[in-house]
Amino acid sequence: MPTTHLLYLHGFRSSPQSTKARQVAAHVAQHHPGVTFWCPQLPPSPRAAMALVAGGIADWPQGPGMAVVGSSLGGYYASWVAQQARCTSVLLNPAVHPARDLERYIGEQTAWHNPEERFFFRPEYIAELQALDVRHLPPAGPELLVAAQGDELLDWREMVARYPQATQRVLPGGDHALSDFAQHLPEVLAFCDLV
């Protein structure tokens, strides 16, 4: 059954205005106009973020009719969503240990695409991240990992170790933002099997 609904989850401090999110949205609109695409602005609280997503996809098909793409922290979230929806997931330089890595960001932060917009990353969000960890469960659906060896923020080796059952694309060089994502977009969306 081809995918009729595609969810995109952005990373920490990011937004639906990220380059990757806009590239996916434009490609889906142009080449797969029948696909429902949603990229919500995620709140800083992981619990609130996943509650928002769960509410937004409540009427979507579960399983093969849906896919989720997540970048960085959004990749961590995508693994949780895939478990709930039993669907395909694509993980772009995913955060593997966000509870560990984001601890140093507790406090006031600025939004990447709008530095005037500020938010607080609260200490209790660390436990909320830990509660979303699904690494002890087998994949609920097909997984594609795209990991750049040149990622300056996250270790690609941790990504590879975290997703041993995924189809893995380890890219030489690159960066955390996957600046060359456009050239990988057709493969990513082919993996999602969009109508």
Q: Identify which of 92, 89, 106, 110 has the alpha carbon closest to the alpha carbon of residue 21.
A: 92
Say what the pLDDT of residue 37 is. 98
Say what the pLDDT of residue 114 is. 74
Between CA 37 and CA 29 the distance in angstroms is 8
Between CA 172 and CA 150 the distance in angstroms is 7
pLDDT per position as a tens digit, 94-115? 999 999 999 999 998 887 777 7
Query: What is the distance of C-alpha 169 from the center of its chain?
Result: 16
Residue 6 and residue 36 in contact, taking contact as beta carbons nearer than 8 Å: yes
Single-letter residue type at 29: A
Mean pLDDT per 10-residue section of the chain, whose length is 195 residues: 96 93 96 97 97 98 96 98 98 97 91 78 97 96 96 96 97 90 93 93
Between CA 107 and CA 103 the distance in angstroms is 9
Say what the pLDDT of residue 1 is. 83
- Torsion 31-181-162-101 (CA) sign: negative
Say what the pLDDT of residue 88 is. 98
Between CA 188 and CA 71 the distance in angstroms is 12
Residue 2 and residue 193 in contact, taking contact as beta carbons nearer than 8 Å: yes
| Polymer length in residues for the chain | 195
pTM of the full structure? 0.95
Between CA 131 and CA 138 the distance in angstroms is 17
